[in-house]
Amino acid sequence: MTASTRSADGTELGFDRTGSGPPIILIAGAFGDRATTRPLSAALATQFTVFNMDRRGRGDSGDTAPYSVQREIEDLAAMVDEAGGRASLFGHTSGASLAVRAAADGLAITHLVLYEPPFNPDDSYPLLCADLPVRLGELVSAGRRGDAVELYQTEAVGLPDQVVTGMRSAPFRPALESIAHTLAYDAMVVGDRSLPTALAGITVPALVICGENTAPFMSAAARAVAGTLPQGRLSTLSGPNHGIDAAATAAAITRFLAH
């Protein structure tokens, strides 16, 4: 069911609500929207009430400015209210960064699930340059949306040049370029990849998920985050690393929330 609510500043927030049971809110990553996490939402809906929201920005389609972490935290607070005042929170990649900030800010989160959080605790991948948001914004302003997408894929996601080049003709490339204007903000959410000091103060039960074939720096980040969270545990899912495996991820979340 598609529904909407309003954030603290009056912005209308569209979301999908499905299933029944304990509430869980899903937050996609930089290139994601509600469609990206709908397979996971469907897999979880047999056990949970799932609130699936956009996070390529704000609003019904994720394109409402201004983009700011504080505004998105307020959006999440509105979603928690919709969920009855308390909810579990799932964040994918940069959505995991936002989830960490929300938990550290004291939102009424009962459980935290972080899928491949984009941190770099041991310099196995270069820290993000502070000027990345500026460069992304300049490319978009110049009409070079494809270049902005590739810059983000290379520097923020860590994709090799040959993979980025091969994606130029992919059928989903126009969709990526259509959200290029949100990538500078997303880079701000991620920050420089350093491990957040706030992790040690997040005391709710937390599950950190990564794939067995994920990039080494992502695996290192998952281990470090799980080890830093006071009630953190790590789940490594088998299979190829091509986004979220809905069935395997839902099974891991269900096991985690059952205890």
**Domain range summary for the chain, segments of one domain joined by +:** 2-122+193-257, 132-188
- pLDDT digits over 243-258, tens only? 688 999 999 999 999 8
Question: Is residue 49 a contact partner of residue 82, using CB atoms and an 8 Å limit?
Answer: no
Full-model pTM: 0.90
Residue 106, SS3 per DSSP: coil
- Determine the average pLDDT of the residues in 89-112: 94
- Determine the average pLDDT of the residues in 87-103: 93
Please, what is the average pLDDT of the chain? 88
pLDDT (0 to 100) of residue 57: 65
- pLDDT digits over 140-192, tens only? 999 999 999 999 988 887 788 998 999 999 998 998 898 888 888 888 888 88
Class of domain 2-122+193-257: alpha beta
Residues 6+ positions from 253 with CB-CB distance below 8 Å: 24, 44, 90, 113, 207
- pLDDT digits over 180-189, tens only? 888 888 888 8
Q: How far apart are the first and last CA of the chain?
A: 28
